[in-house]
Amino acid sequence: MLPKVNFYVLLSRSEQGRQLFACKLAEKAFRLGFKAYILTDTRQQAQQLDTLLWTFRANSFVPHEIYQSDLPSRANAVIIGTQQAPEAWRHTLINLSTYCPEQVHQSEQIFELLDNDETHKQAGRKRYRLYQQQGITPNTHKM
């Protein structure tokens, strides 16, 4: 089964805008009972998201942790990392990285978050074409 891929193109040029949107998607996945993986390019980005998930909304609680190499606690609905997601967290993939995730066909839904930064848009176009080459028709949403 092919995953549903959605590209969200945000109007801002801010990395924090993309990260806030990722937090909202992660919170929604948690409320719907799904585990989610947020893929980042760097450990620093993962740490920023870790902090933001605690503070982005006053009454929000999203159990999460940064994934390193040990299997995360199953109690955490969301994990953040720079490598391939562990199997239990492949349902929902939120991609903040500049590359196409390795486990594309193992996810049910993939969210690609872009902003108006030219570097992010170019990398996003490349990923869009890679998805198409794999027989996936991505949807695009301008926010």
Q: In this predicted model, what pLDDT tens digit does every residue of 14-44 receive, in sequence order?
A: 888 999 999 999 999 999 999 999 999 999 9
Q: Is the pLDDT of residue 69 over 80?
A: no
At 59, the pLDDT band (50, 70, 90 cuts) reads confident
Q: What is the pLDDT of residues 81-104, one digit of tens each?
A: 998 888 878 889 999 999 888 878
Domain hosting 23: range is 4-142
Task: Identify whether the C-beta of residue 79 lies closer than 8 Å to the C-beta of residue 89.
Answer: yes
Closest to 70 measured CA to CA, from 55, 58, 83, 61: 83
What's the pLDDT score for residue 25? 96
Residue 93: give its domain's CATH number.
3.40.50.10110
What's the pLDDT score for residue 12? 85
What's the pLDDT score for residue 135? 94
CA distance 138 to 91: 17
Q: Which structure tokens are listed for 126?
A: 């490349």
Q: What is the pLDDT of residues 102-138, one digit of tens each?
A: 878 889 999 999 998 888 899 999 999 999 999 999 9
Q: Is the pLDDT of residue 74 over 70?
A: no
What's the pLDDT score for residue 133? 94
What's the pLDDT score for residue 71? 72
Closest to 92 measured CA to CA, from 31, 37, 23, 27: 37
Contacts for 64-69: CB closer than 8 Å, 24+ residues apart? 64/26, 67/37
Q: Once rounded to an integer, what is the mean pLDDT over residues 49-59?
A: 90
- Number of domains present in the structure of the chain: 1
Task: Identify whether the C-beta of residue 94 lies closer than 8 Å to the C-beta of residue 22.
Answer: yes
